[in-house]
């Protein structure tokens, strides 16, 4: 006994080509799908933290207490030549915390 199957394809609604859609898809891939601010926020934190002695990266990440404490603790470290370690640590910390803020805000959206 022979059976026949009929397959019908429905036209997809998203088949039209839009140049803006291509640009948004490329941007989504470049920014990791987190949008322009999420992709750039850690870079801003690092840029602010490169200003010596002020720990602006921590203030940018809304960690004002940490920024203030590191501002005060840097003075005894300057004569001991340990200040550069604190400075480099503050840059890495600003990047890490800012990336965590972006990741947590994106996971709350989903």
Are the CB atoms for 44 and 60 separated by under 8 Å?
Answer: yes
Query: What is the distance between the alpha carbons of residues 66 and 76, in angstroms, rounded to a whole number?
Result: 17
Q: Model's pTM, two decimal places? A: 0.66
The predicted-structure confidence for 58-92, as pLDDT tens digits, reads as follows: 999 999 999 999 999 999 999 999 999 999 999 99
**Domain span at 67:** 41-109
The predicted-structure confidence for 36-46, as pLDDT tens digits, reads as follows: 667 788 999 99
Tell me how many domains the chain contains.
1
Query: What is the distance between the alpha carbons of residues 88 and 91, in angstroms, rounded to a whole number?
Result: 5
Residue 75 lies in a domain: yes
The predicted-structure confidence for 17-53, as pLDDT tens digits, reads as follows: 677 777 776 666 555 556 666 778 899 999 999 999 9
Residue 63 lies in a domain: yes
The tally of CA atoms less than 13 A away on the side-chain side of residue 4 is: 1
Residue 52 lies in a domain: yes
Residue 54 lies in a domain: yes
Are the CB atoms for 90 and 57 separated by under 8 Å?
Answer: yes
Radius of gyration of the chain (CA): 25
């Amino acid at each position: 006994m022979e059976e026949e199957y009929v397959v019908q394809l429905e036209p997809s609604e998203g088949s039209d080509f839009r140049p803006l859609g291509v640009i948004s898809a490329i941007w989504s891939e470049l920014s990791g799908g987190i949008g322009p601010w999420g992709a750039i926020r850690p870079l801003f934190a690092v840029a602010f933290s490169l200003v010596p002695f002020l720990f602006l990266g921590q203030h940018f990440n809304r960690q004002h207490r940490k920024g203030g404490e590191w501002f005060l603790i840097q003075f005894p470290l300057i004569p001991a030549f340990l200040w550069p370690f604190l400075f480099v640590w503050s840059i890495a910390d600003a990047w890490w915390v800012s990336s965590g803020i972006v990741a947590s805000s994106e996971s709350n959206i989903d």
